[in-house]
Amino acid sequence: MTGKRAVAQLLQHLQSVGVSHVPRVTPIARRVASAVKPAASRQAPPTAAQRQSAVARPDEAPQRARLPSAGAGRDQDLAVPAALPEVAALVQQSPSSRAEREQALCALQGIVAACARCEQLASRRTQTVFGVGNPEARIMFLGEAPGREEDEQGEPFVGPAGQLLNRIITATKLRREDLYICNILRCRPPGNRNPLPQEALNCREFLQAQIDVVRPEYIVCWGGVAAHNLLNVQTPVSRMRQQFFQYGSAQVLVTYHPSYLLRNAEAKKLVWEDMQFFMQHLGMQAN
Ligand code: URA
Ligand code: URA
């Protein structure tokens, strides 16, 4: 293989797992609260051929690459895990009915449960925490990583942060069935430390597959870890609020993490403003 082709393949693979030198973060609407925009239409998923070209050959050895930092604050050597053909196959089927998407997510959950890419996390977890919600939800909620309760119960956002998130959901008048909820990581980091860049990269293929199957119109990033890893930026949450970023066919909104609100009660008001901004954009009236 020529060097040029190898680089092109690597770049394609990095893009397929969401890491890119090419800025793909576009603020598309700054403070558009007064102008309720029509929801973005769902784009057709890429064709099998397009996807095939974007997925690294699974038989290739893991590649080491100098990557732009993904929320870590500095460039690091990260090892891109070989893409799993069974994950690519699920996405390539472009599940469209609710039942098909449910089935694809279920199969993906099984693949994730067997993952041991992050040795430390895999050896300590009670179980993987995949995601819950409507498989064709308009809105995806993206958190950071499971905590103790999530690790025990196998569901995202069931501990104290999750209870606060539930209260926020109730107040916004969003319904649980509008939502699909998952995290950057599917395993609990010890002591709830932040995900390492390598761990986020290891788990990215699964997050991307969940996004590709659910195809949400909106992704709400709860906290800096979710936003920085998803969008590959390091902008503070305070400067990302109340605007939309484009990620694939989804519009991304960033706000503070519920755990942050538990420690900084004064920020609850800011999250409430962000939810009102979002509700207004959706044409819904918050409480
Ligand atoms: N915090 C998160 O970010 N995710 C969870 O699932 C639970 C707590
Ligand atoms: N900084 C973060 O990274 N996340 C928050 O939720 C708040 C501040």
Q: What is the CATH number of the domain that holds 257?
A: 3.40.470.10
For residue 9, is it within any domain? no
For residue 29, is it within any domain? no
What six digits make up the tokens of 175? 């319904």
Ligand 2 binding pocket mutation candidate from 141, 237, 241 (most atoms within 8 A of CB): 237
Tens-binned pLDDT, residue by residue, of the chain (287 aa): 444 454 444 445 445 544 443 334 445 544 333 222 333 334 444 433 333 333 333 333 334 444 444 444 445 689 999 999 999 999 999 999 999 999 999 999 999 999 999 999 999 999 999 999 999 999 999 999 999 999 999 999 999 999 999 999 999 989 878 999 999 999 999 999 999 999 999 999 999 999 999 999 999 999 999 999 999 999 999 999 999 999 999 999 999 999 999 999 999 999 999 999 999 999 987 65
For residue 4, is it within any domain? no
For residue 232, is it within any domain? yes
Q: What pTM was estimated for this model as a whole? A: 0.78
The alpha carbon of 181 and the centre of ligand 1 are apart by a number of angstroms equal to 10
Q: Which domain holds residue 69?
A: 47-282
For residue 1, is it within any domain? no
What is the total count of domains within the chain? 1
For residue 287, is it within any domain? no
For residue 30, is it within any domain? no
For residue 16, is it within any domain? no
Ligand 1 binding pocket mutation candidate from 157, 259, 261, 262 (most atoms within 8 A of CB): 157
